[in-house]
Structure 1
């Protein structure tokens, strides 16, 4: 498919509720297409590395989301990855990029170290997303105590986009590493970030102390 054909298809798939939702969360250049429709398009197109870059360059939210599903992460150069992450301007783009592209990069550890210190909020969000995944798997080579100190110091004034993945890192430390759990709980209570976050019925609050305790309880229940 050509980019022009895909954009035309996006126009026909416009959904008013989706458009309003995206606009609420900061989307500027968009059609308002449901995520399920974008996934369906990706299944038809399959992996198409060159098309993914053309779509990304349009700047449309839907085009970039589709790009994350059809790009081949293993073919991306460091320069290309950096260009993508620094050109993002919408939270859904960042989350799909982190979930479908970043986690499969062979040199992602290099990006984690670089981006956590970035002044670009989207790069920092991605860097802390990588850190959250890293500490969930283990912490060989990671100074967890220093990471917790950094979260305690920096998260209160970090951009909201970065706070989210810093908070995920905090929660993952508390959930997966009992020796640091009490410290993680104390930091979460002290900072109070997401304490009053609205949560749908049946979902777990992103407030770190609630999140940590709930997930630990589930793990213990499954183990028992």
Structure 2
């Protein structure tokens, strides 16, 4: 499929109701296609890396979301990832699409550590969610456990004074470490207890900030235990 054919397919699958719902969650420049419909389009395209780059550069929310599902992050350059993070203008793209591909990249960890220090709120959220994605995918032996401990301490110290969406993704990072890194489960639970309730403006939606300690405990105790993910794309 060509770029225009994909955009036409997205537009055809869109509805005003979905568009309004996504806009309430911070999406901008959007057609209004459901994720399920984007995945149907994805099956027709399969793995077209060049097309994924073109879709992202349209700046259209739905196209960027689809680009994240389609692209192989390991095949992207660090420059492409930097471009994606710097041009993401919706929470859904910054917090999910960009981390999906960055977590797959060999330099994803390094990039994420740089991004969490960014003065830009959306870039910082991409960094924290990339770190959370990496810990959910990589075996513990391949993770920098001392750095993860330092990052937990940083969250404990900074979360309540961090920008709004950064607070949300910091809390998610604590959940990710506690859920997927067995050696740091207790450290993450201790961090969750110390930070307590995390207040985030959810823009009038019904979404809530998950309690990190309860979420970790529920995840660790589910039937079959915790298994590392193959991908964080959804």
1:108-119 equivalent positions in 2, closer than 5 A: 108-119=108-119
Q: What's the CA shift for 1:148?
A: 2.5
Q: What are the superposed Cα offsets for residues 132-178 of structure 1, whole Å, 9 maximum, x if unpaired?
A: 24555535353344322211222112223222221122223444324
- In 1: Cα distance, 2:134 partner to 2:55 partner: 30
Corresponding residue for residue 208 of structure 1: 212
Aligned to 1:51: 51
Mapped partners of 1:105, 1:141: distance in 2: 19
Q: Which runs of 5+ in 1 are unaligned?
A: none
Cα shift at 1:186? 2.2
CA distance in 2, matches of 1:214, 1:64: 32
* Aligned partner of residue 222 in structure 2, secondary structure: helix
Give 5+ residue unaligned stretches, structure 2.
Answer: 227-234
Aligned to 1:132: 132
Correspondence for 1:35: 35
1:183 to 180, 185, 190: 190
Matched, 1:150 2:157: no
TM-score w.r.t. the length of structure 2 is 0.79
Contact 2:52/2:66 (8 A) holds in 1: yes
TM-score (norm 1): 0.82
* Structure with more of its chain in helix, by fraction: 1
2:193 counterpart of 1:193: no
SS in 1 for 2:103: helix
Aligned counterpart, 1:168: 172
Give the alignment of 1:55-94 within 5 angstroms.
Answer: 55-94=55-94
Segment drifting more, 115-124 vs 129-138: 129-138
Cα pair distance change 1:199/1:165, threshold 3 Å: same
* CA distance 1:209–1:74, change in 2 (3 Å): closer
| Aligned partners of 1:47 and 1:69 also within 8 Å | no
Is the CA contact 1:116–1:125 (under 8 Å) kept in the aligned structure 2?
yes
- The 1:76/1:181 distance shift into structure 2, 3 A limit, reads closer
1:129, distance to aligned residue in structure 2 (A): 1.7
CA distance in 1, matches of 2:41, 2:147: 42
| Aligned length, in residue pairs | 216
Q: Following TM superposition, by how much is the alpha carbon of 1:106 offset from its aligned partner in structure 2, in angstroms?
A: 1.7
Aligned residue number for residue 98 of structure 1? 99
Q: In terms of Rg, which structure is larger? A: 1
| Distance (whole Å) between structure 2 residues aligned to residue 5 and residue 174 of structure 1 | 43
| Residues in 2 aligned to 1:178 and 1:12: alpha-carbon distance in whole angstroms | 45
Moved more, 34-43 or 65-74: 65-74
Q: Would the aligned equivalents of 1:102 and 1:108 in 2 still touch at CA under 8 Å?
A: yes
